[in-house]
Each structure stands twice: as structure tokens, then as C-alpha cells.
Chains A and B, each alone.
Chain A
């Protein structure tokens, strides 16, 4: 039997070779298990691209049509696999085009490493061609960033970059590498990073806090669980399910928590937040205990903080200490990795059913069904609804698809009505609300899960922000299914104008091109559905295809998404119409 001591004594497996900085970067990526990255070449990163050419049998580089697309593709890949997504760009505009993706990954805690080229060290600060201070620019939107100016730093910094991106609460890291460092030759050896002394990624769970949490849970009469992406990032889906089932507690999710627990699970009571479900929103203000797991009380979740769950005690399971009491004061804060803390909690909580309390959610669901859901999914009026399209996708894909959404009305509808059977199946831009996210993210998601159906659901506005990534889908025959729900408007902004700006429709009407022809221009099979009678067959044909496929559905132009918590209102003032 191997003992711990023997393990320590085992010689370190490091090989030393003299190579260029550019080649070293490739070796670092390979050592971190990267076999796929997205990017766009240019002057200051050319030495690395030259090495990518030599290593193309080991490392696939996908040329996106814009650097922003590279970041979102890397995010989609990361979200579906749980691994670090990698994007690469040149200096100057290449680097600045990454900023939106970095900000998105930062606010949605997505592990990503971005590598940018930089002008040679001796030109730094000279306003050289394509020089930009990407370290300064990216600082507020990165978990960490670093500028490498000499090749000898590459191994250590790259190892640290991957470690920081994926550990603890994940996030984006940017490594900027001056061109001279890419050319320099040096003795290369690689060791994965095991820790950074000033960085404590996973706080140790406090057993007393867990005991206090269990006590509150065991005493509660009307408890409500709200979970977020922390459950998915912490791989705690099974622990969440066990906890929910043992204690019989109704459980709701934030938009990024979607799919961690089956949509059809009897205790899954739906989504919280601005366009979430009626029951969990209203009953947030009636519960006596709110158990928040891996979520951060975003304003789109809480509405007005002054009236949010004031009657309830709050238990906050969270990996990031800075989130504790940031927005909502916790009676008990349980710091740590969600899997670890839930596992410690499980034996301490009592088996229970909260039948009468759970029935309240069912009553509220019935109200929501009668007022909203029925008309969304089984409309009787002429125009097609977004909801019925999502329902057809559920049916055709047997609830097994990865649903990638953009931002706006279609996103809210898709997240409300898409059904999930497997975790990591909902990929959306939650915190930043980045229009243009879905198409490139779907490319990354599909390449990260080739065995799964990936359906991108996009509005006509967001689609045109990154539409050029159809080029990637065509060139690499990435079999994603693209559904554009076209209402010829920026629908969500239009909805706000209707409700809160006296119907002054400033710049929300879209005069759109022929999307089918555009897809066909990229040799992607494309169909348009304008009438209800063609919808089912249209969706079925798309799902049945094993090629890239584009489906445009012409939906009702002036429909609104309900329920809705008006901005700044209380969760209990959620409107059904």
C-alpha cells in the first residue's frame, strides 16, 4: 500500500526543454488539458498562432468571426463542461473586443482564460500600433489578470491563471503576453498551480454554522429553498436533491440555477425573480425560513430589498464571503463549497413534509396557469407565442436539449418554459444580460457536448449582434439548432416602453432582413414558420436534423412577458398582467 509519506517522496515529474515562449504557451494549454480554444489572430499574437499551426493535431483552434464570439463560445463550452474555456486574441482591438465576454464571465462566475498578445516590451507605453492597456481595461472585469513581459514567467503565470479561473468561485482570467516574450527561448518546465498564498478559494465549513442552519431548518414551518448556480458550479446537484427530498421543502431557482434539479421534480416550484413564477416570488414574503444556496440575491431576484423576505430568517450557503450580507442579511451564513456543506447538513436535518405549505405553491401555480401559462403555451389567439415554440422544442427534444438563450423576452420565456432533466442544460447570460451571447455560446456548448442536442433560442435583436458566427457553424459544420423568435422588435425594451414609458416606442422597431436567406448564404439549412399549423412539424424537422439548422418563427409582435415584478417593486407585488 502506498503511504502518504511515499507519495511526498515521489520525484516531481518535470521535464526541461529549451523552447520559445510561444511554444511554451501551447505546452501550458496542453498540460491544463485544453484541446479546444477560440480566437482570432493578429500581429502581436502571431508567434503563438504559428505554434498552433504546428500543434493542430493536439489543439483545435476555432476561428470565430469576432473576438467577442470567441469569449462567448469559450463561456458556452465552460458552462456545459465545467472545464475552463479558452479564448485568444491579438493586442489592441482584439483585446478590447474580449471585454464584454470577460464582464459576462465575471458576473456569471464562468471559468475562462483569455490570452492576448501585446506589443513588445520595449514599445510598452509608446502608443505603438495596436497597443492598448488591456490590463488596466480588464481589471474590473477579471478575477485576475497579468502581463507577461519575459518568457521565463510563462509557465508559472499560465498555471496560476488556470488555477484561479477554475477554483473557488470561478471567473475569467486574462493573461497578456508581450511579443518579445513569445519569441524568447528559455528552459521550460511546467507544474500545475496548487495554491496561491494570498487566495483562499474555498472557505472551510464551520460545523457550528451548519448545526445552527440545521436547527433553523428543523424548526421551520414554512421553509423555502432558493438555489443558484453555486449548486451547479459546486457539483452539488445530488446533495441538493437529497436535501430537498428529505426535508420536503419547496425549492425555487434563480435563472442561473436552472436545470440543477429536474424541472418536473414535485418539489421544484419554479424560478424566482422579475419574470419568475408567481408562487415562489409571492411566497418568498410568506416563508418563515429562506434557505439560499449558491446564489447572490441579485436585484432581479429580490426586487425591492426593503420588502424582501423581511418576515423570514435567512440561511445563506455561499462560497464567496463577500456575498454574505451584501444584499440580504443572513441569520446563519454557511461558507464553503456547496457540495461539502450540504453533505454535512444532510445528516443533521429531520425528515419532513410540508404538505400544507407546499400546497400553497400549487394554488399559486394554478392562478399563474390560468392567468398566464395557459395563454402562453396553448394560445387561442391568432399570433404565435414564444411559449408555444418552447413547448414544441420540449416535446421534440424530450426535455433533453441544452437550451442556450440570448437576452430579452425570448430568454425569460425560454427559462420559464424549457424543461430540463439534466444539469448544465441551461446556458444564458444572466448577470450581465449580454445580447449576442447565445449564438457563439451555443457553438461552444455544442463542441463541449457533441452527444447532446443544443438549441439556441435567440431574439431578432440579439441575433444580429453576433450573426457573423454563422460562419463558424458553416465552416466547422457545428450541428447547433438555431431558433430565432422574431417579433421584429426589441421586445423587452418595447414591453417596458409600453408599461412604463406611455408607449413611446423609441428605437425598438426592427426592420429585419430575410434571416432564412442569410442562413442559406452560409449554406445552413433554414426554414421559416409563420403559422401555428406549421410549428410542430417545423420544430420536429429541426430536431431530427443532424446538421446545423436554422428556424425562424414569426411570433406575435407586441406580446408581453408576465408575470413581472416591476423594477424596484416588491416580489409580492408581482403582476400577472
Chain B
């Protein structure tokens, strides 16, 4: 079975220690977490973990089964890239003088559909959201000018199909 990218979406109670329990499942199987994002979900008081792994379908299926088995996990799903809409966000911190001296930087910002989120005396910050390769490209374009700081978030994603969780949650609400 070939390795590919999978996005695992985990709906859970919001409890201390749950992240440790989930990450331990990957650790036990010696599988690296490529990116991780924890946020609120579309359901009140339910958290959502978005985890990206590069592995085989057999393993992702095994992992999702083990995650779902944990007491405070409500449901877990996995999807291929084709089955999801996904993106990441990045911040670039650049010296302010370049914004005025280098016209090319302004073009890079425009061409990449990114925004300047703040301008200070010494630096300015560009925010870019998109696919990882788009962010990587922009990084390469800005690199020659000197990047003071760079950070990229974990992947966030929504599935194209309905996440089969709503019915279950309605049941919860009735209780």
C-alpha cells in the first residue's frame, strides 16, 4: 500500500490531557504528525483536532480506530487531499525599509494574494493563506530580501462531504 497524505479530523470533548492521549497513538506506531491544529468546531463545546499524516491507508484506518476508541473522543474521520478543502496560514516579518525601497516586494504581496497585517517603524508583517506549495513559493520569492521571522500554521480543513457527526450530536443534545 502506498503512502499518501491524509487529514484526520477528530471531534472531542475539551479535556486536559486529551492531546497527550491522541499523540501517544501516533508515537506508539512510530508515525510522525506532519501538522496539528486544535480549534473549536461547528458544535458548541466540542473541540476539533486536524492532524495531517503521510502514511498508508491501512495505518490511517488503524489510527483513526484507536483515536475513536478513546473515551472522550466523539468521532474521528480521515480524508485524502482530494476529499477536503484545506489550507495553511503563514506570517512573514520583513524589515520595513524594504517595503519602500523594493518595488518587487509590493508585487510579490499582490501576486500572491497576501495582505500586510501591520507596519511598524522597523518591520512589517505579511499574512498569506493557501496551499503549502503556494506559501513555499512566496517564501522563496521573499527569501533573497531577508526574512526576519517566518511561521506557518498547521493545516486546517473541511471535508467536501458531510461529516457524519451531526446526527450523533443531535442525539447528545436530546439527552
Contact = CB atoms under 8 A, between A and B. Distances in A.
Interface stretch (B12-20, B78-86, B152-160): B12-20
A320 interface: yes
B104 interface: no
B68 A322 contact: yes
A326 B13 contact: no
B73 A198 contact: yes
A322 to B, nearest CB: 4
Nearest to A325: B61
Nearest to B66: A322
Interface stretch (A136-144, A218-226, A381-389, A514-522): A136-144
24 contacts: A136-B17, A136-B20, A139-B20, A139-B21, A139-B24, A140-B27, A143-B71, A144-B71, A147-B16, A196-B72, A197-B74, A197-B172, A197-B175, A198-B71, A198-B72, A198-B74, A199-B71, A320-B69, A321-B65, A321-B69, A322-B65, A322-B66, A322-B68, A326-B62
Contact of A140 (B13, B24, B68, B69): B24
A135 interface: yes
Instruction: For the complex of A and B, list the 8 residue pairs with the smallest distance between their C-beta atoms, beginning with the closest.
Output: A322-B65, A198-B74, A144-B71, A140-B24, A322-B69, A199-B71, A197-B172, A139-B21
Interface string A135-173: 110011001110100000000000000001000000000
A321 B73 CA distance: 14
B68 A321 contact: yes
> Which of B17, B62, B71, B74 neighbours the largest number of chain A CB atoms within 10 Å of its CB?
B71
Contacts of A164: 71
A384 B65 CA distance: 48
Contact size range, A: 10 to 19
B30 interface: no
Given A139-B24, A144-B72, A198-B73, 12 more contacts: A139-B21, A143-B71, A147-B17, A164-B71, A197-B74, A197-B175, A198-B71, A198-B72, A199-B72, A322-B62, A322-B68, A326-B62
A155 B27 CA distance: 33
Contacts of B28: 140
Contacts of A199: 71-72
Contacts of B69: 320-322
Interface of A: 135-136, 139-140, 143-145, 147, 164, 196-199, 320-322, 324-326
Given A139-B24, A140-B24, A322-B65, A196 B71 contact: yes
Contacts of A321: 65, 68-69
Interface string B154-172: 0000000000000000001
B58 to A, nearest CB: 9
Contacts of B66: 322
Interface string B107-147: 00000000000000000000000000000000000000000
A322 B172 CA distance: 22
A4 B65 CA distance: 37
A322 B69 CA distance: 7
A139 to B, nearest CB: 5
A145 B66 CA distance: 16
Nearest to A164: B71
Interface string B21-63: 1001001100000000000000000000000000000000110
Contacts of B61: 325
> Which of A144, A164, A199, A320 neighbours the largest number of chain B CB atoms within 10 Å of its CB?
A199
Nearest to B46: A198
B65 A198 contact: no
Nearest to B172: A197
A401 B27 CA distance: 42
Interface string B83-103: 000000000000000000000
A154 B7 CA distance: 37
Contacts of B68: 321-322
B24 A198 contact: no
Contacts of B16: 147
Contacts of B13: 198
Contacts of B62: 322, 326
A232 B12 CA distance: 32
A197 to B, nearest CB: 5
Contacts of B65: 321-322, 324, 326
A398 to B, nearest CB: 42
Contacts of A320: 69
B97 to A, nearest CB: 44
A523 to B, nearest CB: 45
B61 to A, nearest CB: 7
A316 to B, nearest CB: 13
B71 A135 contact: no
Nearest to B63: A322
B17 A135 contact: yes
A326 B68 CA distance: 14
Contacts of B72: 144, 196, 198-199
Nearest to B70: A144
A156 to B, nearest CB: 13
A164 B69 CA distance: 12
A147 B17 CA distance: 10
Nearest to B11: A198
Nearest to A322: B65
A196 B27 CA distance: 27
Contacts of A197: 74, 172, 175
A150 to B, nearest CB: 13
A164 B73 CA distance: 14
B12 A198 contact: yes
Contacts of B73: 198
Contacts of B27: 140
A139 B172 contact: no
A77 B39 CA distance: 43
A322 B21 CA distance: 16
A219 B103 CA distance: 78
> Which of B21, B73, B74 neighbours the largest number of chain A CB atoms within 10 Å of its CB?
B21
Contacts of A322: 62, 65-66, 68-69
B71 A139 contact: no
Contacts of A198: 12-13, 71-74
A140 B24 CA distance: 6
> Which of A196, A322, A324, A326 neighbours the largest number of chain B CB atoms within 10 Å of its CB?
A322
A198 B172 CA distance: 9
A320 to B, nearest CB: 7
A305 to B, nearest CB: 11
